[in-house]
Every structure is written in structure tokens, then in C-alpha cells.
Structure 1
Amino acid sequence: MKIITIEEHFESPVISQKLAQVPGVPVMPKMSTEMQSYLQRTLPTAEIMQDTTKMRLNFMNQYDINRQVLSYGNASPQNLDPQYAVPLCQEANDELAKVISANPSRFSGFAVLPVGDPKAAATELKRAVNDCHLKGVLLKGNYKGHFFDDPFFRPIFEMASHLDVPVYMHPSFIPSTITQHYFESDQWSDIVTGNLSTTAYGWHMDIGIQIIRMITSGIFDQLPNLKLISGHWGELVPFFLERLAGEIDPISHLKQSFATYYRQNVYVTPSGILTNPQLNFVLSEVGADHLLYATDYPYKQPQNTRSFLDQTDLSSRQLEAFTHGNAEKLLHLS
């Protein structure tokens, strides 16, 4: 069975070193000493994030993964001030291209863009795809509290549509005011608050709202060829498709049903949440041709990465599409 996983994270030692010297948006939000200590114990080390020759390949070989599509993890220049982000994103994409060129049969990649300057970001996306042979772009969270449905960012999506490459909408840290309102309590520790607001629920809710806003903005009426990727089984949105359509369709300006845009323009990955109930539900909502496989390496290294695929109820055609066929088509992988 051929397997391609498409949400697999990477950090460049060159870029991480330069990020540490640049004033701007911090890699991590402010947090308690208790939470910082917990993250140091649980997050992948810089060595694991940066490795592309030993541990990563061992993981891929152990679980029969033919190809990973790499994207920058938390050490990303995306949200820096444009004066720093523009050159650093260019260099970051060049560094990723070097990694891929050293092992082109095992790796592909998604670009990182200086979203604070959308015109420069669009130009860099074109260069990253045409010159660096990257297969799309991964956008993290939001930029200075602005969601990506804001017309300010439209040049990025216009270029992605023009190049026929997808945009992976990836979670990131949510504003502290939202964390305090929804997830903070004196009944549990700062560590529980931190996890509730990020990997357990909060940032999945946040990036799911991002997808909802993109559809509701009408961007797919203007850019019908635009394709988004949503991880973690769609960040909760598939479970509300009928509700969203029923409530939004009668009052919106959209040309088609909310659910139609989702099923036509959004692709969904498990991001390492390798569970059959979620697979079967999302399959029933979006169809086998809009499912892509992903492990979220190295943040997650599921022991059932391979066995999960053997235990699904997918037909042979559906399984082929899920494990590699859809990725090859969407990302133009030969």
C-alpha cells in the first residue's frame, strides 16, 4: 500500500536561529512557568523537528510511509513584521527546498508566506511553487487577530487558485482573552487550561471558525478553483454541516449551499487522530475523494499509523484515494 502523509512538520536550524534574533511576534504566547515546563517535557525537541535523515525516515519506514509533505512547525516566520517576514520566508522556503532535493522520493513541502504583506506573499508563493517546486502553502492561525477571510489577504488566495495549489489551514495559539473566557478556571491547573485552549479543543474550534468564515465570505463564488485543506477531521466543522447549511443558506448571499462549498472546495485530514468513528462520519459527509492521510509528525507519532489503515471499512478504491491518490492529484505529485 502506497502512503502519503501531508501534515508533517519540520523546522530549519538556520531559520530557527534567525527567528531568535528578530523582534516581532513570539513563537509561543506568554504562559505560566508551570506550562512552560510542561511544554518542554512534552513537545518534540529541536533535534527531532529538524531531523530529516534518521528519526524521521525511521518513523516513515516503520509505518510504510512513502512520502511526507513537510511544513514549518511553530518556528515559522509567517507572522513576523513584513520587513523580517518577507526575506525570512523566502529563505525558509529555500531551506525546505534543499531538504526535499536531498531526498525527492520521500519528501515534498508546503511554503510559508509573509502574510502581513499579501502582495509579497503572493509573489513568494508563485516563486515557491515554480522555482522551489513546493506543492502549496500552509497558513497558521491568524495574523494580528485578523482571520484570513479578510479581503486584505485576498492576493494570497488568488495566487493559490491561479497556481492550482491548496492552502492548508492549520491551527495556532488563540488570543489570551478567549483562553481566559472559555478555558481558564481555579478548579484546574494552568497545564489543563493550556491544553484545553490548544491541542485538546481551543485551537481546533478557532481554525474551524476560520473555514466557516472563508465559506461565508463568498470567496468560493469568486475563486471556484480555490482548494483548502482542514486537518483534525475538519476541526469540528463536518459535524455541523447540516446545521450550518440549514441556518445560513436561507439568509446568505452565497450562490450555493454552505455544505456544497465545503464538499467541493475543502479537503479533510485526520492529522494523527486515527479513529474509525471519525473516519466513517467524515467519509459520509465529504466523500472519499476529499480525504487525505496525515499523522501530524513529530507532534504526534501514532503507533497505529499503519494498522489503522488495515482496520478501516473503506473499499479498496476509497483506501487508495485516502492513502495516496487524492494527495497525488491535489498536490500534482508524480
Structure 2
Amino acid sequence: MSRIPKIDLESHFFTPEYMALLESRTRPPRFEVTDENVRVWLEPSLPDVMLTHSHPLRDTLLDLSAARIEAMDRVGIAIQFLSVSSPGFEQFEPDVQVEHAGKANDALAAFIADHPRRFVGLASLPVSAPQTAADELERCVRELGFKGGNIHSHIGDTYLDDARYFPILERAATLGVPINLHPTLPHGNMLQPYLGYGWAMPGPGLGFGHETAVHAMRIIYSAAFDKLPDLQIILGHLGEGLMHWLYRVDFDFNKPWMAKSHRSQIERKPSDYLRSNFWYTCSGNWLDSALLATIHEVGVERLMFASDYPWEQIEDGADFIEAAPISEDDRRMICHGNAERLFDLNV
């Protein structure tokens, strides 16, 4: 079958040093490799919440080799964006973030240097040291050729709307590169109602998306985009559910009986920012109705392909977008045209 060329905005990896760090720890984030599986604790505020994944998944995350390129070729992925997989560095101690985020970026740059036409890097950032994180983003963009940053949603019990993180957002806007806001397990302050039913509610089934959507809205309400109108954020999973809330997020702007003093102190309606300062990928959400809702609400010009490999089967994402009930022009814009425009790439 002939495949449409694709630019894959979300694919993940581990470095051996990052994995060794996770396996060496006695408190989250940490991994424990057993004979049966890999046990994972993501969130320091919830040290008893654990998930498991398989040895083959761990091996694939660690495999930056020709095997990854072969998987890409099978489904027509011409270029793949790489970022460190969950838990990322945001929940580590600040000094650990500073040391290991830089090492991961250097390792990724070395791999990309061997395959410069096939891979693009998204920088890991030591977010708990904001000025250092801003400088690391600039180093990765200017010296290593990366195309943006990747942040695993909350930082401790804070989000990027906190004024201390403004230097990171400001630097991204100055450099003209987006920040990819990737889901993670919600902080314990938010997670209690999700507990009691295993991993289904707090993880990818519900908690991941809710936490990231809340984070995105906090950035909007903080007036970050009024101060930095060129700042761009990427959301995966077809907008983390926000496409179905665009009317409701504008509630205090739309109701004549709502006192202006109760409105968010921002210049435009929240949905306006979601249409002008956010980009969206289809990563790990293979649902036609969600795809069509995203196109309808924000326009096909802001939607890009992503596989979420290897957490998702790479064939599933490719099959989904190639069979989606959309026009061929829209399909090609999503598969590669929009990413080419945003990142100055050419498949």
C-alpha cells in the first residue's frame, strides 16, 4: 500500500543513563525492573500509585537504532520528532533536572546527527530552574538544531502559569519555537477523585487529558499570550478534550448577566487563544469524531499528525489518518503540510 508522507510530531525514547537514573531511585519518579514487567511510579505526591508496562516497551524506548527507522518506513513517516518519554524530568529534584536534562539533549543530538534528514529533537528542560531551562532551550535550538521544547505538564504542584516560569515561555516566543505540553499523572492535589479503580482513571484514560487541559487553560487565564502573542503551545490527543468545551470556556464572556469583574483578566475570549496560540496533534486518539471536531473548531491548518510511538502502535496512527473521513487536501495538510509550515521542514 502506498503511504502518504508523514511528519510525526510525537515519538518517545529513553537514554540508558535516564533509565539507570530511574532504576536507581527509591522515591518517585522511579522504575523497578522485575522478571515479569517494569513497575513505574511517576508522581512524588502519590508514592503508592504504580503502573506496569512490558519489557518489550522498555526495550523499544531504549532503541535508537535502524529498527526505529524501519518502523517509520513501514508507515510512511519521513520525519519523526523525538522527546524523552514520561516521566520526563519535571518531577525530579532541581539539581537532578539540570544535570540529566542536558545529558539527554546531548544524547539525542548525537543520534540526530547520524540521521539528520529523519529526526528532529524537542528539548528536555530543567523547568524547576527556570532561567537555566530557558538557556537550555536556547542552546538546544541554536546549537543542537532542535525545534522546540517538551514539558510534562505540572512541575511539582505548579503549572507554567506561575510567574516563576515566565522566562521559559518568553524564551520560546523569542526563539519562535513551540512548547509541546505532554500529559503526565496529575499531582496528588488533583488526583484523589481518580483513585480506586486502578490505572484506568488517573492515567491515559482520563487523568492525563484532564490535567493537561487544566494546565493549558491556566496558561491562557494567566494572560501569558497577551504578553507573548507569538507564543505557541502544542497539545496532543486532539486537544485533550478541549474541543468539546470551547463554548463553555467562554462562559463568563458570553453571558450578559455575568459581571465583568468576574471575568478572567485577559484581552480575548479563551477560545480565541485556543484557535491562535495552540496547535494540535492526533497522537493516541484514533477517533474520527474527535478529529472532525478539532478540524471544525480550530481549523485543519492547526492540526498535525503524531503517532505517540511506542506507547501506541505506529501502524494504528498511520492507518487512522489515512482512512479518516476527510478530504485528501486536508489529509496531506495534517500528515505533513502544517508541520512543514510551522517548523520550516520539507518531507
Q: Tell which deviates more after alignment, 284-293 or 47-56.
A: 47-56
CA distance in 1, matches of 2:278, 2:137: 20
Q: Which residue of 2 aligns with 1:6?
A: 9
Counterpart selection for 2:19 from 11, 16, 39: 16
Counterpart selection for 1:184 from 191, 195, 199: 195
Q: Which residue of 2 aligns with 1:188?
A: none
Post-superposition Cα deviations, 1:31-71, rounded to whole Å, max 9, x if no partner, equal: 36xx54xx134x75331101122442232122111111000
Q: Which residue of 2 aligns with 1:122?
A: 134
One-letter amino acid of the counterpart of residue 127, structure 1: R
Give the 5 Å matches for 1:121-270.
121-180=133-192, 182-185=193-196, 192-248=197-253, 251-270=263-282
When the two chains are superposed, the root-mean-square deviation of aligned CA atoms in Å is 2.0
| Superposed displacement of residue 220, structure 1 | 0.5
CA distance in 2, matches of 1:22, 1:63: 37
Q: Which residue of 1 aligns with 2:114?
A: 102
With normalisation by structure 2, the TM-score equals 0.87
| Superposed displacement of residue 22, structure 1 | 6.4
SS in 2 for 1:234: coil
SS in 2 for 1:305: helix
Post-superposition Cα deviations, 1:241-296, rounded to whole Å, max 9, x if no partner, equal: 11111335652221112111110000111112122111111100010110011111
Residue 22 to residue 304, structure 1, CA distance change in 2 (3 Å): closer
Residue pair 2:89, 2:101 contacting (<8 A) in 1 also: yes
CA distance in 1, matches of 2:216, 2:56: 28
Any stretches of 5+ residues in structure 2 without a counterpart?
31-40, 255-259
Q: Percent identity among equivalent residues?
A: 30
User: Quick check: 1:291 aligned with 2:277?
Assistant: no
What is the number of equivalent residue pairs in this alignment?
322
Post-superposition Cα deviations, 1:289-327, rounded to whole Å, max 9, x if no partner, equal: 100111110001154333323322333332222111111
CA distance in 2, matches of 1:156, 1:168: 13
Q: Which residue of 2 aligns with 1:48?
A: 60
Specify which structure has the higher proportion of strand.
Answer: 2
| Superposed displacement of residue 215, structure 1 | 0.7
Residue pair 1:71, 1:109 contacting (<8 A) in 2 also: yes
Specify which structure has the higher proportion of helix.
Answer: 1
| Superposed displacement of residue 75, structure 1 | 5.2
CA distance in 1, matches of 2:117, 2:111: 11
Residue pair 1:22, 1:84 contacting (<8 A) in 2 also: no
One-letter amino acid of the counterpart of residue 16, structure 2: P
SS in 1 for 2:284: coil
CA distance in 1, matches of 2:146, 2:236: 19
Residue pair 2:57, 2:310 contacting (<8 A) in 1 also: no
CA distance in 1, matches of 2:317, 2:79: 14
Residue pair 1:171, 1:203 contacting (<8 A) in 2 also: yes
User: Quick check: 1:301 aligned with 2:313?
Assistant: yes
Residue pair 2:157, 2:189 contacting (<8 A) in 1 also: no
CA distance in 2, matches of 1:248, 1:153: 27
